[in-house]
């Protein structure tokens, strides 16, 4: 059973300063994520910012220009820092604001910090240049870099007392993370190819004649790129449908946060489905007004009520 969050944790001035730093990082580098967490009460919003700032550090090491062996060393240093956080060895006056904020958050919310170890494992897969033959292979990677974030976030959100099926909440949070990550992979397929990375499963690429990759603004000659994208979109939609079962288990504002973030990515998926080749020409994104609409819809509880009705119909 996942504990609920009941009170606002006390934070000293050094801790508040550390949280402010993490919120600045989040607002600057994670617009979609920041859009969702602004709907949370202050303690949860701060904790989510700390989680994001630590995760961003890990991602930046993996995406940076350092040599591979240096990246591995930096990632293991970050894992050692995580161990210090887990063992409550970070002082409030520590010079690392991310460590201070995350240590405070972990002391007041039941955050499963092992999820950040999984994130580091996933980024190490990137550093090693791993590719994925099947969806099961890619799914294992996505669980590390995105499913784990869903489970970490659930530690901050908590669940509503008496919610039905609450024992499956971590599973649904994990699945929702997979849905967001697969959407990211589709959105970034050209950018990743330019960076020498391929995430889509090799057997899917072969099935649709896309094994040559995506080095240019047009699909490979003779390929069914549209068919490939539509195939992956259907897979992502199924993941969203399963992951959305989490919403009725959350309180109103946590549910709004999740619905806003997931809703932005679902609408992004709609855009990709309507014009698959757009992802080869540049980054597909949503305008601010559409993100605001999604946030209002999430705050109103429309998405959560829709999921609840659908679940009841299936059980009837």
- Alpha-carbon distance of 150 to 147, in angstroms, equals 5
> What token pair was written down for 159?
């669940």
Question: Per the structure block, which two tokens stand in for 160?
Answer: 């509503």
Q: What is the pLDDT of residue 286?
A: 79
* Alpha-carbon gap, residue 75 to 53, rounded angstroms: 15
Q: Which two tokens stand for residue 258?
A: 């999740």
Helices 13-29, 97-108: crossing angle, 10 deg rounding:
110
d(CA 115, CA 117): 5
Q: Which of 41-50, 107-116, 207-216, 280-289 is predicted with the least confidence, judged by mean pLDDT?
A: 280-289
**pLDDT of 213 strictly over 70:** yes
Burial 124-138 (b: 16+ CB within 10 A, else e): bbbbeeeebeebeeb
**pLDDT for 244-290, tens place per residue?**
999 999 998 999 899 988 988 999 999 999 999 999 998 888 777 77
Which of 67-71, 227-231, 292-296 bottoms out in mean pLDDT, i.e. has the lowest?
Answer: 292-296
Instruction: Tell whether the model's pLDDT for residue 189 goes beyond 90.
Output: yes
Q: How far apart are alpha carbons 168 and 247 in whole angstroms?
A: 12
**The two structure tokens encoding residue 115:** 């999820």
Query: Predicted confidence band at 311 (pLDDT cuts at 50, 70, 90)?
Result: very low
As a whole number, mean pLDDT of residues 55-81 equals 97
Please, are residues 142 and 178 in contact by the beta-carbon 8 Å criterion?
A: yes
pLDDT at 7 over 60: no
Please give the Cα distance from 305 to 18 (Å, whole number): 37
Q: Tell me, what's the pLDDT at 305?
A: 47
Query: What does pLDDT average to over the chain?
Result: 89
What's the pLDDT at 38? 85
* Domains and their CATH numbers in the chain: 12-110 (no CATH), 131-315 (1.10.600.10)
Q: Provide the whole-model pTM.
A: 0.89
The span from the CA of 158 to the CA of 111, in Å, is 10
Is the pLDDT assigned to residue 8 strictly greater than 60? no
The whole-angstrom distance between residue 315's C-alpha and the CA centroid of its chain comes to 29
């Amino acid at each position: 059973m996942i504990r609920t969050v009941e009170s606002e944790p006390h934070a000293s001035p050094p801790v508040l300063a550390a949280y402010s730093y993490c919120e600045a990082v989040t607002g600057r580098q994670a617009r979609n994520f920041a859009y969702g967490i602004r709907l949370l009460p202050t303690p949860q919003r701060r904790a989510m910012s700390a989680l994001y700032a630590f995760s961003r550090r890990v991602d930046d090491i993996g995406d940076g220009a350092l040599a591979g062996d240096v990246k591995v060393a930096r990632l293991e240093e970050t894992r050692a820092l995580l161990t210090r956080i887990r063992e409550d060895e970070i002082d409030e006056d520590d010079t690392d604001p991310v460590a201070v904020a995350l240590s405070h958050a972990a002391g007041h919310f039941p955050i499963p910090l092992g999820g950040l170890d999984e994130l580091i494992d996933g980024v190490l897969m990137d550093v090693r240049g791993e590719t994925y033959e099947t969806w099961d292979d890619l799914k294992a990677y996505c669980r590390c870099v995105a499913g784990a974030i869903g489970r970490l976030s659930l530690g901050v959100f908590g669940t509503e007392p008496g919610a039905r099926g609450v024992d499956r909440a971590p599973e649904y949070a994990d699945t929702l993370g997979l849905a967001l990550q697969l959407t990211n992979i589709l959105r970034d397929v050209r950018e990743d190819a330019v960076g020498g990375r391929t995430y889509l499963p090799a057997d899917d690429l072969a099935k649709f004649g896309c094994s040559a990759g995506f080095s240019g603004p047009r699909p490979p000659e003779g390929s069914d790129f549209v068919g490939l994208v539509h195939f992956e979109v259907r897979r992502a939609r199924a993941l969203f449908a399963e992951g959305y079962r989490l919403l009725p288990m959350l309180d109103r504002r946590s549910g709004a946060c999740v619905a806003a973030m997931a809703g932005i990515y679902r609408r992004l998926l709609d855009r990709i489905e309507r014009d698959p080749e757009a992802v080869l020409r540049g980054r597909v994104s949503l305008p601010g007004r559409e993100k605001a609409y999604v946030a209002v819809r999430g705050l109103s509880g429309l998405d959560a009520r829709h999921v609840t009705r659908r679940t009841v119909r299936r059980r009837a």
